[in-house]
Chains A and B, each alone.
Chain A
Amino acid sequence: MYQYDTFDHQLLADRVAEFSDQVDRRLTGALTEDQFRPLRLMNGLYLEMHAYMLRVAIPYGVLSSRQLRGLAAVARTWDKGYGHFTTRQNIQFNWPRLTDVPAILQALADVEMHAIQTSGACIRNVTIDPFAGVAGDEIADPRPWAEIIRQWSTLHPEFTFLPRKFKIAISGAIEDRAAVRFHDIGLRVIRNDAGDLGFRVWVGGGLGRTPRVARELRPFLPAAQILGYLEAALRVYNLHGRRDNKYKARIKILVDEIGIDAYRDQVEAEWHAAGGPALVVPEAEIARVADFFAVPDYVTLPDATVELARWRGADSGFDAWMGTNILTHRAPGYAAVTVSLKPVGGIPGDITADQMDAMADLADRYSLGELRATKEQNLVLPNVRQDQLHALWSALRSLGLETANKGRVTDIISCPGQDYCSLANARSIPMAQEISRRFADRRRLDTLGPITLNVSGCINACGHHHVGNIGLLGVDKRGAEAYQLVLGGDAGEADSSIAQITGRAMTAEEAVDAVEVTAAVYLDRRQDAETFIQTFRRIGVTPFKEAIDAAR
């Protein structure tokens, strides 16, 4: 993992001092709330329904056991003993006091973490494939680039008051697990015919009230030129993005309005005028950062085929977990394990301080001290020896973290919704909990196979409902909560699609029933081994619509 040097530490120390001063000035009245709001937001501090909410960046989702213990300490000391992992590889604390935030930031700084730019109209936490560096299908590791971009974007003087927030995602594997085409800028690590490392650059993707699949900005950009190019792309957006209407201020609308070709021409012109290909990240810096992500000293191991087969045969719980929560690792004899934060009837992404500490211990014991946070609101132990999988699973079981549902319909992605969020139209969590209970049966889960289900409490789409195979959106029906069901979304680069509306908004109960009907239509209409999304693509939304209407 990346480790801070004295410069990184100094910057964070300066930042903590600055924010402490801003908090003081707010408390004494030297700053008005209008002046303070953008400053606190730039530090991830919101004022929500019941209290302040602090969003802490987990840089590109990579966490050390020490950092997770640091987060547990924050939850225990200054919050109510739990945290919530978000769909952007961040963690949120729901109950901090404004007066405690400087102390929290200091505690975070001690473990090389911060809340810088986790909100506000600036460049947000870069997100990447949670299996970076360990996935079997990786072309190149995106982590060094994510760190290089993190540093460049941190307190960038020119891009801190953009028209709107700006999100960057990087994927380095064959399968896109970072949803690059649903970000303001998506970077796909590739190699050109000459074998040089670079990025395929996508622009103008996003969810919210105007969902858009990103368009291609550049088929190949040499990797070392990334910062100069991003600077040009951001400058054109900063100068020309709309500021008259916050719903039209994201870069996707600029690209819609002037067209991808005009936007590209402006970016290329700006980039060349500024120095273009000559603006490179120094070789030595790329090497320095990449060194932190060098392949660890894996023990040379055979795949533990025989033991695993024996354990799986002896224990159906372990067998199910192996069937869903394990990803092929690049090193023989190892596995990457997803620890589901979606127990039946639980709150997606929530984790208690005790569980955080326990997970940190398990990471030390079984995963070289490292964890990842995923946009699916789960945790990953990236480096587990196959011959220790059963021991790990047993330990997880004693913590209630052994749920075998990764990628299944109960692996529900959900925003906090109206239980916490002041922008919400409806509650998200109870909806997720009810669906999770209805589909809890193991055989049902396996019969339905891979399905993504996403719940957002309003059109801001923090639960990414537009890219759920099944999506639920909270809407306001004359002051009462209601839900709209959408179907057919897909976040992957190759098959990106935005979910389609099935009909009018329903009550919570009707919506859960409609999800059941949707599942039934799929099972009835699927051919051979088709997944839900494959069946949906073949038969379209109409059969689902009809069945849902008929059931009402």
Chain B
Amino acid sequence: MPLVKLNTPGGLTAPVADWPLLAEDAYVPPTGPVLVPLATWLAGRDTLKDRPDTGVWLAAGDDATALGDDLPAVVAIRFAAFTDGRGYSQARLLRERLGFTGELRAVGDVLVDQARFLTRSGFDAFQVAEGSDLVHFEAALGRFSVVYQAAADRATPVVALRHPSYWSAAE
């Protein structure tokens, strides 16, 4: 399935080819692009981390913090069902706890109507269905101009807009 990426706030790039997800215990091809499972990455990190076209994919049950400090350039979090919200916590842990600055992809069962929750949690690339209309996706991204919480996207929460002096002191 194609992948779209955030470019400017609210905007999306044209679809590009997504990287394949390698199964657990599968043979790791000598070159990418490929996304390997967490266990494969942890076992072969020393060689894999120098490959620019090799990233990691996380299943819903994986501990995102296990990636530690030695981070790949691309991480994909796989949503087996869009109702399984573990990926949002994994994404925030990656961004806010581990300081991951690479590309964070939401892959699998991802709905347009979750776009805002995804970007707010730190995702900046999304798998979309073949031929899907990006107009809805972009509309969903631009839908909310106000947020009540601080999250991984660094959007300014309402409380900071209400009390600017407090926020600048805290930053």
Contact = CB atoms under 8 A, between A and B. Distances in A.
Contact of B146 (A14, A273, A285): A14
Given A158-B92, A238-B89, A285 B159 contact: yes
Interface stretch (A74-82, A159-167, A543-551): A159-167
B27 interface: no
Interface string A260-286: 000000000000011000000111110
Contacts of A21: 139
Q: Does more than half of chain B's interface fall in helix, strand or loop, or is it mixed?
A: helix
B143 to A, nearest CB: 5
Given A7-B161, A14-B143, A156-B149, A274 B97 contact: yes
A539 interface: no
Contacts of B148: 11, 151-152, 154-156
Contact of A158 (B121, B147, B166): B121
Contact of B86 (A151, A238, A282): A238
B113 interface: yes
Interface in A137-160: 151-152, 154-160
B97 A157 contact: no
B126 interface: no
A25 B140 CA distance: 13
B116 interface: yes
Given A7-B158, A158-B92, A39 B121 contact: no
A492 B128 CA distance: 50
Nearest to A36: B113
Interface residues of A, number: 40
Contact of A35 (B84, B111, B120, B162): B111
A345 B37 CA distance: 63
A396 B159 CA distance: 42
A192 interface: no
Contacts of A152: 148-149
B162 A155 contact: no
A525 interface: no
Interface in A1-30: 5, 7-8, 10-11, 14-15, 17-18, 21-22, 25, 30
Interface of A is mostly: helix
Nearest to A154: B148
Nearest to A280: B170
B73 interface: no
B83 A157 contact: no
Interface string B37-57: 000000000000000000000
Contacts, number: 105
A155 B113 CA distance: 12
A21 B145 CA distance: 16
Nearest to B113: A39
Contacts of A15: 144
Nearest to A162: B85
Given A38-B83, A157-B117, A158-B151, A14 B89 contact: no
A121 interface: yes
A38 B163 CA distance: 35
Contact of A161 (B83, B116, B145): B83
A47 B60 CA distance: 30
A235 interface: yes
B89 A158 contact: yes
B88 A161 contact: yes
Interface string B59-81: 01000000000000000000000
Contacts of B120: 157
Nearest to B167: A282
A539 to B, nearest CB: 47
A285 B163 contact: yes
A243 interface: yes
B113 A239 contact: no
Contact of B117 (A151, A160, A273): A160
A15 to B, nearest CB: 8
Interface in A280-295: 281-285, 288
Given A157-B151, A158-B121, A284 B158 contact: no
A159 B85 contact: yes
B96 interface: yes
B89 A239 contact: yes
Contacts of A22: 113
A30 B129 CA distance: 13
Instruction: Pick the most buried of B86, B90, B116, B140: most chain A CB atoms within 10 A of its CB.
Output: B86
B167 to A, nearest CB: 8
Contacts of A284: 162-163, 166
Given A35-B111, A151-B158, A282-B163, A161 B85 contact: yes
A281 B159 contact: yes
A152 B121 CA distance: 15
27 contacts: A5-B162, A7-B158, A7-B162, A14-B145, A17-B143, A18-B140, A25-B136, A121-B83, A121-B85, A155-B117, A155-B144, A155-B147, A157-B120, A158-B89, A160-B117, A161-B82, A161-B83, A238-B88, A243-B86, A281-B159, A282-B159, A282-B163, A282-B167, A284-B166, A285-B159, A285-B163, A285-B166
Interface of A: 5, 7-8, 10-11, 14-15, 17-18, 21-22, 25, 30, 35, 38-39, 121, 151-152, 154-162, 235, 238-239, 243, 273-274, 281-285, 288
Given A5-B162, A158-B88, 4 more contacts: A10-B146, A154-B148, A158-B117, A274-B96
